[in-house]
Amino acid sequence: MGTQATTDLTVGIDIGATKILLGVVDQTGQILHKTGIESWQYPKLEDNLANLLDALDELLAPYDRARFHGIGAGLPGTVDDARGLVVYTPNLRWQNLPLAAMLQDRAGLRVHLIQDTGAAAWGEYLFGAGAGLANAVCATIGSGVACGIIIDGRLYGGAHHTAGEIGHLRVADESLVCGCGARGCLEAGGSGLGLVKVFRRNLAGGARSPLADLPPAALDAHAIFDGARAGDPVCAGAIDEMVHYLALGLSAVATTLTPDVLILSGGLSRERDLLVNPLMERIMEYSYRTVRDHVRVVPAALGPDAPLIGAAALHLAPEYGATGN
C-alpha cells in the first residue's frame, strides 16, 4: 500500500433493479461526480450493459486513469468476486455474467463485485453510522430486506458470500407468501412489498380503508405510510405488523452477533417517525439484555448513496483489497 501516491479516487457503481448509479468517490467517501441510467429503459441485457459501459466512459473522461484504485460494483443479487461473476440477480435476470472483466476491459481498472447490501454496510461502517466501530450490522429495508455484516473490521460473507439474507427468516405470519415461494418470510410482511401484502390481507379480511379504492398499481408502501399519516387505522395497523416482523428478525440477528451498532438503512428508512423510531424501540423490547446493554440501534447516515460509496471503498476491505495496491 502507498506506493502510488497519486491514486486517490475510485469508481462506485450501484446496480439496482430500476436504476444504475455511477460515481467518482474520494478516499473520505465523498462523491465528486455522479451519474445515473435507467436499468429497465432498455429491454435487452446487451442494451443495459452497453449503456452501463458508455456511462462509465463518460464518467471517467475528465480524469487521469492513474488516479483510480479501481472500480467497485454493488449488485442486487449473488456475486462471486473471486471469479468476477454476477452469479444471479433475480430482478435483472443476469446469470453467470462476467461483469468484472467487461468493466475492466472498458476502463482498464481492477474491479470488485459485492452484493448491494454488503456495499451499503461497508459504506456505513467506514464513513457513516458505523464509523470508528469494529462490528456493525446494516439492515437494508426497501422492497425486500437483507443485511450486511462486518465483524472485526471485515465484511462477513459466509459460505459463498451468501450471508445476510435475513429477509427469508421465517418469522412472519404463514398467510403471507414470499417472492421466494415460502410462507412467513420476514420480507413477506416486513418489507415494502410485504407491507402491501399485510394491508391487502387485512382488506380481504373485512378491514375498511379509503385506500381500497386505489387502482392496484397505486397501492404501494408509500401510499400506506401516507394513509397512516392521514389517520387511517388500517394503514397504521399494517405498519405496526411490519415493525413487529422486522423487530423479530433484527433482534435475533442482534442477539446472535451483538454488533457495536445495528444500522437501519434502505429506501424505507426515510420513514423515520412511522417506521425507524418505533422499530428501534421494538428491537430493544424483543432483544436479550446483551443487546439492550451493548448494541446501539441507529438510523443510517449515508442515505441512498450508501451502496455506491461502499462499493467504491471495497479496495479498503482486507478481504477485497489487492495485496500489492
Contact positions vs Zn ion (CB under 5 A): 168, 178, 180, 182, 185
Nearer to Zn ion, 121 or 171 (CB): 171
How far is residue 18's CA from residue 40's CA, in Å, rounded to a whole number? 6
Contact 41, 73 (CB under 8 A): no
The whole-angstrom separation of Cα 24 and Cα 242 is 36
Output 79 or 185, the one with its CB closest to Zn ion: 185
CA 241, 279, 237: angle at the middle one, nearest 5? 25
User: CA nearest 305: which of 123, 68, 122?
Assistant: 123
Length of the chain: 325
Identify which of 167, 152, 322 has the alpha carbon closest to the alpha carbon of residue 250: 167
Q: Which is nearer to Zn ion, 37 or 180 (CB)?
A: 180
Greatest Cα-to-Cα distance within the chain, rounded to the nearest angstrom: 68
- Point out which residues pair with 155 in neighbouring strands: 150
**Nearer to Zn ion by C-beta: 134 or 180?**
180
How far is 110 from 104, CA to CA, in rounded Å? Answer: 6
Contact 85, 96 (CB under 8 A): yes
Nearest residue (CB) to Zn ion, 136 versus 193: 193
Q: How remote is the C-alpha of 160 from its chain's centroid?
A: 18
Cα separation, 16 vs 309, whole angstroms: 14
Q: State the nearest-atom distance from the C-beta of 194 to Zn ion, in Å.
A: 10
Q: Which is nearer to Zn ion, 112 or 244 (CB)?
A: 244
Minimum distance from residue 145 beta carbon to Zn ion (Å): 10
Q: How far is the CB of 164 from Zn ion (least distance, A)?
A: 14
Give min distance, CB of 115 to Zn ion, in A.
Answer: 16
Instruction: Please report how close the Cβ of residue 138 comes to Zn ion at its closest, in angstroms.
Output: 20
Q: Which is nearer to Zn ion, 124 or 241 (CB)?
A: 241
CA distance 266 to 199: 21
Closest separation in Å from C-beta 170 to Zn ion: 8
Decide whether 72 or 167 has the Cβ nearer to Zn ion: 167
CA angle (51, 59, 7) in 5-degree steps: 135
* Least distance (Å) between residue 167 CB and Zn ion: 6
Shortest Å distance, C-beta 69 to Zn ion: 36
C-alpha cell at 283: 428491537
